[in-house]
Amino acid sequence: MDEDFDVMSLAAYLHLTPEQIRKMASRDRLPGRRVGGKWRFSRAEIHQWFEKKIGASDEQGLTEVERVLYRSSGDTASEEPRISELLLPETTYVPLMARTKSSVIKNICDLTSETGRLWDPVKMAEALISREELHPTALGNGVALLHPRRPLPSIMGEPFLALGITTSGIPFGGPRGCLTDVFFLIGSTSEAVHLKVLARLSRMIQQSDWLAELRETESSADAWQIINDGDTSLD
């Protein structure tokens, strides 16, 4: 599952030509290394590269990233879980009672575990803290996309999303000291699912009017409906 890519397999995965892959690698635009004179690419590092690309893309770029991810897996968008299917009313928490980074992580994991979607909230919380220490997931728009460094399929039955909105902004490592009040927890069973969910969710939160409406909601049910409407609007 974690077998490295060579030039040909990575070219097929990214829908690029082998020559494009070689040029990108030689110019440090792709994470790779030479082994015996041939390029090799770690699957985990390519997925991390995708994650960074998602974070740096505008809506048009995110749409293209989604297309590449679906083509790479041979799936169509209709065959993948929708955001509104991954996020359930019972995994939507408005307000999320927390005032610190650690309490946000602990509370959203504990609440999600009560629904049966997450089996080991302690292990998930530890993985989230480790990820935040490596690189904060908080964005400049006051949203954090919480996720472990690698998927943890052993502690969940299926992919899920949880959402928590705090009553005020919290220091969460956002750029330029930006406070964070909207927290999505992404629970994925594979790297492929994680990247697809991350790309689609990133498209949603770039819509400033939609995000403002989400912040104004006063109930979990209303927040879930806003997410559902936002997901539909992307199609």
In terms of domains, do 85 and 124 share one? yes
Under the banding of pLDDT at 50, 70 and 90, the label for residue 222 is very high
Under the banding of pLDDT at 50, 70 and 90, the label for residue 64 is low
Mind listing the pLDDT tens digit for each residue in 145-189? 999 988 899 999 899 999 999 999 999 999 899 999 999 999 998
In terms of domains, do 169 and 224 share one? yes
Pair type for strands 160-171 and 87-93: parallel
* Per-residue pLDDT, 73: 54
Q: Quick check: 123 and 162 in contact, CB under 8 A? A: no
Q: What is the 8-class DSSP label of residue 4?
A: P
Kindly report the CATH number assigned to the domain that includes residue 118.
3.40.930.10
Residue-averaged pLDDT of the chain: 87
In terms of domains, do 197 and 95 share one? yes
**For the whole prediction, is pTM greater than 0.85?**
no
Both tokens of 182, joined, read 């909207």
In terms of domains, do 131 and 19 share one? no
In terms of domains, do 161 and 227 share one? yes
Report the number of distinct structural domains present in the chain. 2
Higher pLDDT residue, 116 or 200? 116
Whether residue 33 is contained in a domain is answered as yes
* Per-residue pLDDT, 78: 44
Mind listing the pLDDT tens digit for each residue in 144-153? 999 998 889 9
In terms of domains, do 66 and 173 share one? no
Whether residue 1 is contained in a domain is answered as no
Decide if pLDDT at 97 tops 90.
yes
Whether residue 170 is contained in a domain is answered as yes
Decide if pLDDT at 70 tops 90.
no
Whether residue 171 is contained in a domain is answered as yes
In terms of domains, do 61 and 147 share one? no
Under the banding of pLDDT at 50, 70 and 90, the label for residue 102 is very high
Under the banding of pLDDT at 50, 70 and 90, the label for residue 88 is very high
Whether residue 2 is contained in a domain is answered as no
The secondary structure of 159-179, three-state, reads CEEEEEEEEEEEECCCHHHCE
Query: What Rg value do the Cα atoms of the chain yield, rounded?
Result: 18
Q: Residue 11 sits in which domain range?
A: 7-73
In terms of domains, do 225 and 180 share one? yes
Under the banding of pLDDT at 50, 70 and 90, the label for residue 45 is confident
In terms of domains, do 183 and 84 share one? yes
Whether residue 15 is contained in a domain is answered as yes
Closest CA to 174 of 143, 213, 216: 143
> How many whole angstroms separate alpha carbon 197 and alpha carbon 217?
23
In terms of domains, do 88 and 28 share one? no
> How many whole angstroms separate alpha carbon 198 and alpha carbon 47?
12
In terms of domains, do 90 and 33 share one? no
Mind listing the pLDDT tens digit for each residue in 207-217? 889 999 999 99
Whether residue 128 is contained in a domain is answered as yes
* CB-count exposure of residue 12 (10 Å: 0-12, 13-18, 19+): middle
In terms of domains, do 101 and 206 share one? yes
Mutual orientation of helices 191-205 and 220-233 as an angle, nearest 10°? Answer: 100
